[in-house]
Amino acid sequence: MTTQTEGKIFANKASGKLAHVADMNQLPSLIAHRCGAGLRPENTLAALDYALTQDIDGVEVDVHLTSDGVVIVHHDFCLNPIFAKRAGRHIQDVGVAINDLAYEEIRHYHVGEPDRTTQGVWQNERFVSVAGEQIPRLSDIIERMQAGTRKLLVEIKSDPSRPHLSASPETLAHAVCEQLSRFESFDQVNVISFDWRVLGEVQRLKPDLKTGYLTIGEREDYSESTWFGEFDPERFSGSIVKAATAAGADFWSPHHADLTPQAVDEARSQGLGVSAWTCNEPDDIRRMVELGIDSVTSDRPDIVNAVFAGWPHK
C-alpha cells in the first residue's frame, strides 16, 4: 500500500530508492548539494558532470536572476572572492551583487578554483579544482539533465531581509518556472527555498511542481516572519510543520541538526516528505537513516554512500 508521500517526493528510477522510507530497510535518497561541493567546484557544470557519474539520486543547485533576466546557477547573492576569478586572479570586492550584473558580464568570471587557503568543504584530498569553469545558466543544467532520470532540486535564492539583492518573489518564480517548463515531466524536478513567498508563487504558476520548504532553526534574521510570508508558524501554535503544510508544501527540509524523532513524526502526520541538509559527517548521516527520512543532501556524496554501503539493512 502506498502512503500519501510515497511515489511523490524523491522517487528515483535510476537507483530504485523509494520516495518514503517506510521502514529501516530503505535508505534515504541522496542529493548532491550544489552538485557535490566537496568534490568539485560548487554549482558548476564540471561538478554536475562529475556528480552524474556517481551513485546519487539527484543534484541540488542554487539560482539567481541577472540584471537582464537570465537565471544563473550560483549560491551567494554576491560574487564570492573565494571562488570568483577575473583575469586569473581572485577578486577582492565582496560587494559585486549578481542581480546588478548582466549575463555577459558574469561570463568574464571563472569559479572553478577556490582559494585553497580558506576554510570550506573544498579542504579535502578528494576535491578537484577545474580551471576556467564559468557560472552556468539554469538552462545549461537542464540541457545536461533532460535525458536522464536523476532528480533536480532548484533552490531559488531570495532574502526578504535584503530585498535589494534579488528580484521580487513573483519575478523569480516566473523566470525559474519558465525554464523548468522545458522538462517533459515535472516528476524530475523539485523547487525549494527558504523564502516561502517564492514557493507560493511557484505553486500558483505551476501547481504540478513539487515544492520543498527550507528552514534553518534559530537565526536572528531568519526568525522574522517575512521569510514565511502569510504562513508564520506563530499562527500555527509555533509549528513550522503545520505552517508548511498549510502553505502547500510537498516536503519539509530543515538543517539535519533540527530534526528529531518528534519532528519527523509530526511531518509524517501531516503527509509531508522530510529531507535534511547538509549532511557531510558519518554520524549525522547515520542519524538521518535511523530517523527514516526521505532524502539527505550532502556536499560529500562519497561519504554518504560509504555509510549507506555499511548499513546493516542495505
Q: What does the pLDDT look like over 8-43, one tens digit per residue?
A: 344 332 333 323 444 445 899 999 999 999 999 999
**Which pLDDT tens digit goes with each residue over 204-247?**
999 999 999 999 876 555 656 789 999 999 999 999 999 999 99
In the chain, what percentage of residues exceed pLDDT 70?
89
Instruction: Tell the burial category of 95 from Cβ atoms under 10 Å away from its Cβ (0-12, 13-18, 19+).
Output: exposed
DSSP letter at 255 equals: B
Place of cell 517575512: 226
Mean pLDDT of the chain: 90
- Select the more confidently predicted residue: 45 or 313: 45
User: Which domains, ranges and CATH numbers included, belong to the chain?
Assistant: 29-309 (3.20.20.190)
**Would you state the pLDDT for residue 286?**
97
pLDDT band, residue 160 (cuts 50/70/90): very high
Whole-angstrom Cα Rg for the chain: 19
CA distance 129 to 137: 20
Reported pTM: 0.91
Helix, strand, coil tally for the chain in percent (to 5): 30, 20, 50
